[in-house]
Amino acid sequence: MSTTLINPVLTQQTKEIKRIFKLQLENQYNLGNSSASERIAKLKKLHKAVLKYRPEIKEALFKDYRKHPSEVDLSEIYPVTSEIKHTKKMLRSWMSNRSVSTPLALMGSSSEIRYEPKGVVLIISPWNFPINLTLGPLVSAIAAGNAVMIKPSEMTPNASAFMKKMLEEIFEENEVAVVEGGVETSTELLKLPFNHIFFTGAPSIGKIVMRAAAEHLTSVTLELGGKSPTIVDETANIDTAAKRIAWGKYLNNGQVCIAPDYLFVHESKKEAFIKAFKKYMHKFYTEDASKESSYARIVNNRHYKRVKSYVDDAVAKGAKIEAGGNFDSQQDYIAPTLMTNVSKDSSLMTEEIFGPILPVYSFTNIDTVIQEINSREKPLALYIYSNRNKNINHIINNTRAGGTCINQNAVHFFNTNLPFGGSNNSGIGKAHGFEGFKAFSNNRGVLKQHIPNALELLMPPYNNFKQKLIDLTIKWF
Ligand code: NAD
Spell out the SS3 assignment of 256-311: CCCCCCEEEEEHHHHHHHHHHHHHHHHHHHCCCHHHCCCCCCCCCHHHHHHHHHHH
Cα 346 to ligand 1 centre (Å): 23
Q: Which three-class secondary structure state does DSSP give residue 254?
A: helix
Gap from CA of 409 to ligand 1 centroid (Å)? 22
Residue of 257, 352, 405, 435 marked active site: 257
Query: Considering the domain 229-421 in this protein, what is its CATH number?
Result: 3.40.309.10
Taking CA atoms only, the protein residue closest to ligand 1 atom 12 is: 183
Minimum-distance ligand 1 atom for the alpha carbon of 181: 11
Question: From the alpha carbon of 155, which atom of ligand 1 is closest?
Answer: 26
Calpha distance 367→113 (Å, rounded): 44
pLDDT in tens, the chain (477 residues): 444 567 787 789 999 999 999 999 999 999 999 999 999 999 999 999 999 999 999 999 999 999 999 999 999 999 999 999 999 999 999 999 999 999 988 999 999 999 999 999 999 999 999 999 999 999 999 999 999 999 999 999 999 999 999 999 999 999 999 999 999 999 999 999 999 999 999 999 999 999 999 999 999 999 999 999 999 999 999 999 999 999 999 999 999 999 999 999 999 999 999 999 999 999 999 999 999 999 999 999 999 999 999 999 999 999 999 999 999 999 999 999 999 999 999 999 999 999 999 999 999 999 999 999 999 999 999 999 999 999 999 999 999 999 999 999 999 999 999 999 999 999 999 999 999 999 999 999 999 999 988 888 899 999 999 999 999 999 998
DSSP result, 317-335: TT-EEEE---EEGGGTEE-
**Residue located nearest, by CA, to atom 10 of ligand 1:** 153
Distance from residue 182's CA to the centre of ligand 1 (Å): 11
Pair 225, 352: CB distance under 8 Å: yes
Give me ligand 1 centre to Cα 204, in Å.
9
Cα–Cα distance between 72 and 68 in angstroms, integer?
Answer: 6
Q: How far apart are CA 283 and CA 81, in angstroms?
A: 30
Q: Alpha-carbon distance 248 to 244, whole Å?
A: 6
Concerning whether 267 is annotated as a catalytic residue, the answer is no
Q: Quick check: 213 and 247 in contact, CB under 8 A?
A: no
Helix, strand or coil for residue 9? helix
Whole-number Å distance, alpha carbon 205 to ligand 1 midpoint, is 7
Q: What is the Å distance from ligand 1's center to 33 Cα?
A: 32
CATH architecture designation of domain 8-224+430-443: 3-Layer(aba) Sandwich (3.40)
C-alpha pair distances (Å), 92 with each of 32, 38, 201, 435, 445: 14, 11, 31, 15, 19
Choose which residue among 211, 257, 435 to substitute to test ligand 1 binding: the one with the highest number of ligand atoms within 8 A of its C-beta: 257
Which is the closest atom of ligand 1 to the Cα of 182? 11
Contact 138, 80 (CB under 8 A): no
Rounded CA-CA distance 37/33 in Å is 12
Mutational test site, ligand 1, from 83, 129, 153, 412, max ligand atoms within 8 Å of CB:
153
Which atom of ligand 1 sits closest to the CA of residue 257? 34
- The CA radius of gyration of the chain, in Å to the nearest whole number, is 26
Terminal CA-to-CA distance of the chain, rounded, Å?
72
CA of 279 to the centre of ligand 1 (A): 33
- Tell the residue nearest (CA) to atom 35 of ligand 1: 201
Q: In angstroms, what is the span from residue 127 Cα to ligand 1's centroid?
A: 7
Name the residue type at position 46.
L
Ligand 1: residue whose CA is nearest its atom 42: 257
Atom of ligand 1 nearest to the CA of 422: 41
Residue ranges of alpha helices (H) inside 318-388 are: 347-350, 366-374
**Structural domain spans, the chain:** 8-224+430-443, 229-421
Examine the residue annotation and report whether 405 is marked as an active-site residue of this protein.
no
Give 260's Cβ-side CA count (13 Å radius): 31
From the candidates 175, 223, 352, 435, give the one annotated as an active-site residue.
Answer: 223
Compute the distance between CA of residue 474 and CA of residue 477 in angstroms, rounded to an integer: 6
Residue ranges around ligand 1 (CB below 6 Å): 124-128, 133, 151, 153-155, 182-183, 186-187, 200-202, 205, 208, 223-225, 257, 352, 354, 380, 422, 427
Q: What is the pLDDT of residue 9?
A: 78
Probe target for ligand 1 pocket from 13, 123, 128, with the most ligand atoms within 8 Å of CB: 128
Q: Could you identify the atom of ligand 1 that is nearest to the CA of residue 126?
A: 26
Among 64, 125, 163, 200, which is best to mutate for testing ligand 1, by the most ligand atoms less than 8 A from CB?
200
Question: Global pTM?
Answer: 0.96
CA-closest residue to ligand 1 atom 26: 126
**Ligand 1, from 155, 163, 186, 413: best to mutate by most atoms within 8 Å of Cβ?**
186
Please return the burial class of 57, using the count of CB atoms within 10 Å of its CB with bins 0-12, 13-18 and 19+.
buried
Q: Which amino acid is at 70?
A: S
What is the distance in A from the centroid of ligand 1 to the CA of 459?
54
- 406 burial class (0-12, 13-18, 19+ CB within 10 angstroms)? middle
Which atom of ligand 1 approaches the CA of 431 most closely? 40
